[in-house]
Amino acid sequence: MRSLLTGTALGGILGAAAVGFAAMAWPQQDTSKPEDPRALTYQQIELFAEVFAHAQKDYVVPIDETEAMSAAINGMLTSLDPHSSYLDPEDYQSLQVQTSGEYGGLGIEVTMEDGAVKVISPMDGTPAARAGIQPGDFITAINGKPILGQTLNDAVKEMRGPKGTEIEITVLREGTEPFPVKLVREVIQQKSVTWRVEGGDIGYIRVSTFNERTDLLLEEALDALGRGPKVKGIVLDLRNNGGGLLDQAVKVADHFLSGGEVVSTQGRRPVDVARFNATRGEVFKGVPIAVLINGGSASASEIVAGALQDRERALVVGTTSFGKGSVQSVILLKTLPGAIRLTTARYYTPSGRSIQALGIEPDVMVTQVRLTEEELAKIQRWSEADLPHALENETGEGRKALRMPDEQPPEDYAGEDYQLETAIRLLREGRAQPSRLAMAND
């Protein structure tokens, strides 16, 4: 049988190689470590140069030296935490395009885990959302080619492309076998804010991401709501919002606060130690607000939810958020084209808490589906804390265990969005009144 023959042949080769190695006279090496940590660093740099020289000279085929160096740099950065990486000129340009709010692709926020692309959240109204891609899905192959071994940036490049071109991704979802999904790329014009009126008197605002246009679009939504019939409550929906720009998160929270702190950041450099305060007048002052979050709410969306929760301005409803409490800076390089995306600070909510690896705990936990104790025990949730090399929370505290929700759909529920319906009901019951929230936190 071929498999047996292959195994036997391979064993013979490895055996010969082992004999050859055993017969070699290895040079004596100084394995002692220098006392000065900086000297050890220089020693490691010399080691890298020696390894690279061997790869250049001795590898079985000529190597792409530029690609090898980029991979080495990226490997160093990704070993620090899951959000730091090297951006070659093309990657840097792609990042600029993404934060501008328009690019060609599928419309998903992703990260890398265990060699596969993991979906944080699909963006509203995009090919990925319409195809039913869900938070927590793994993308294991693109057009039949396994992703294993690629960097996140490489995988994202493959998923992006000209409008109208087709792509097939292989999706692995908990409890199912891998299955293919065919998609047609579109120009992703992230209309990051949408709005409507629910039941004649509840303003519903959906913020799907935080890009350069988010604050402007939110102003338009708030203005439109203000010109209509008087609203008696506002739902701010941040579910499956994977984050984005820090300054946009501050501006969004600023609309709902009368002065005071929104968020603070702390890093090693003086420039990374800062406090961001609300500066403009609060809109819809005195009108109760409910903020919807879930496990796909990350980073910038957690800043907004945490600020409104700590400042007792909103009732947070849903399930525990993702738990990304770090800030990344994009630093242009002087010696080589491109940039690095580096985690440079942690952020803290107004009460001084870090949500890194913990997430925002809702005031009222509400699930979209009904759960039994047995089903709850089987759930394998995913969060920042589950990512490779994720920063720990500096308090040493771990993410809270799953518990039965405060609210869940009745057995005969036939609606479409129980979390939203619950948020609206809580607003109508007066549970999110600012004075009520202050009493609850006394």
Q: Which residue has the higher pLDDT, 88 or 418?
A: 418
In this prediction, residue 210 has a pLDDT band, given cuts at 50, 70 and 90, of very high
Q: Are 231 and 277 part of one and the same domain?
A: yes
Please identify which residue in the block is written with the tokens 């910038």. 300
pLDDT of residue 179: 95
pLDDT of residue 348: 98
Q: Which of 188, 207, 227 represents a domain boundary (last residue)?
A: 188
Q: Are 247 and 372 part of one and the same domain?
A: yes
380 pLDDT higher than 60 = yes
Q: Is residue 381 part of a domain?
A: yes
Any idea what the CATH number is for the domain that residue 135 is in? 2.30.42.10
Q: Is residue 226 part of a domain?
A: yes
Lowest mean pLDDT among 26-40, 111-125, 159-173: 26-40
For 117-155, the pLDDT digits (tens) are 889 888 888 999 999 999 889 999 999 999 887 888 788
In this prediction, residue 437 has a pLDDT band, given cuts at 50, 70 and 90, of confident
Tell me what the pLDDT averaged over the chain comes to: 87
Any idea what the CATH number is for the domain that residue 318 is in? 3.90.226.10
102 pLDDT higher than 80 = no
Q: Which residue has the higher pLDDT, 428 or 124?
A: 428
Please identify which residue in the block is written with the tokens 């129980």. 418
Contact assessment for residue 340 and residue 77, using Cβ atoms and an 8 Å cutoff: yes
Q: Are 168 and 201 part of one and the same domain?
A: no
218 pLDDT higher than 70 = yes
Q: Is residue 18 part of a domain?
A: no
25 pLDDT higher than 60 = no
For 288-313, the pLDDT digits (tens) are 999 999 999 999 999 999 999 999 99
- Rounded distance, CA 127 to CA 346, Å? 33
- Rounded distance, CA 3 to CA 6, Å? 5
Q: Is residue 398 part of a domain?
A: yes
Residues tagged active-site: 299, 310, 324
Q: Which residue has the higher pLDDT, 353 or 21?
A: 353
pLDDT of residue 303: 98
Q: Kindly state the average pLDDT of the residues 154-180.
A: 90
Q: Is residue 83 part of a domain?
A: no
Q: Are 248 and 200 part of one and the same domain?
A: yes
Q: Are 329 and 417 part of one and the same domain?
A: yes
Q: Is residue 418 part of a domain?
A: yes
Q: Which of 171, 188, 205 represents a domain boundary (last residue)?
A: 188
Please identify which residue in the block is written with the tokens 């948020």. 423
Q: Is residue 23 part of a domain?
A: no
In this prediction, residue 9 has a pLDDT band, given cuts at 50, 70 and 90, of very low
27 pLDDT higher than 90 = no
Q: Are 364 and 232 part of one and the same domain?
A: yes
pLDDT of residue 281: 83
Q: Kindly state the average pLDDT of the residues 243-258.
A: 96
Q: Kindly state the average pLDDT of the residues 204-228.
A: 94
Q: Are 313 and 413 part of one and the same domain?
A: yes
Lowest mean pLDDT among 109-118, 237-246, 292-301, 399-408: 109-118
Q: Which of 168, 188, 208 represents a domain boundary (last residue)?
A: 188
24 pLDDT higher than 70 = no
Please identify which residue in the block is written with the tokens 């047996």. 4
Q: Is residue 218 part of a domain?
A: yes
Q: Are 365 and 249 part of one and the same domain?
A: yes
CB burial string 81-90: b at 16+ within 10 A, e below: bbbbbbbbee
pLDDT of residue 435: 66
Cα Rg of the chain, angstroms:
25
Instruction: List, in order, residues 6 or more apart from 157 with CB less than 8 Å away.
Output: 90, 91, 94
Q: Are 183 and 318 part of one and the same domain?
A: no
In this prediction, residue 10 has a pLDDT band, given cuts at 50, 70 and 90, of very low
Q: Kindly state the average pLDDT of the residues 51-80.
A: 94
The residue range of the domain holding 133 is 102-188
Instruction: List, in order, residues 6 or more apart from 142 with CB less than 8 Å away.
Output: 155, 158, 159, 167, 168, 169, 170
Q: Which residue has the higher pLDDT, 14 or 98?
A: 98
In this prediction, residue 77 has a pLDDT band, given cuts at 50, 70 and 90, of very high
Q: Percent of the chain scored above 70 by pLDDT?
A: 89
421 pLDDT higher than 60 = yes
DSSP state, residue 386: G
- Rounded distance, CA 9 to CA 17, Å? 12
- Rounded distance, CA 142 to CA 391, Å? 30
Q: Structurally, how many domains does the chain consist of?
A: 2
Q: Kindly state the average pLDDT of the residues 407-423.
A: 95
Q: Are 116 and 241 part of one and the same domain?
A: no
Q: Are 253 and 348 part of one and the same domain?
A: yes
Q: Which residue from 273, 438, 297 is spatially nearest to 362, judged by alpha carbons?
A: 297
pLDDT of residue 418: 97
Q: From start to end of 200-333, where are the E strands?
A: 202-207, 233-237, 261-267, 274-277, 289-293, 315-318, 326-332
In this prediction, residue 110 has a pLDDT band, given cuts at 50, 70 and 90, of confident
Q: Are 255 and 168 part of one and the same domain?
A: no
In this prediction, residue 439 has a pLDDT band, given cuts at 50, 70 and 90, of low
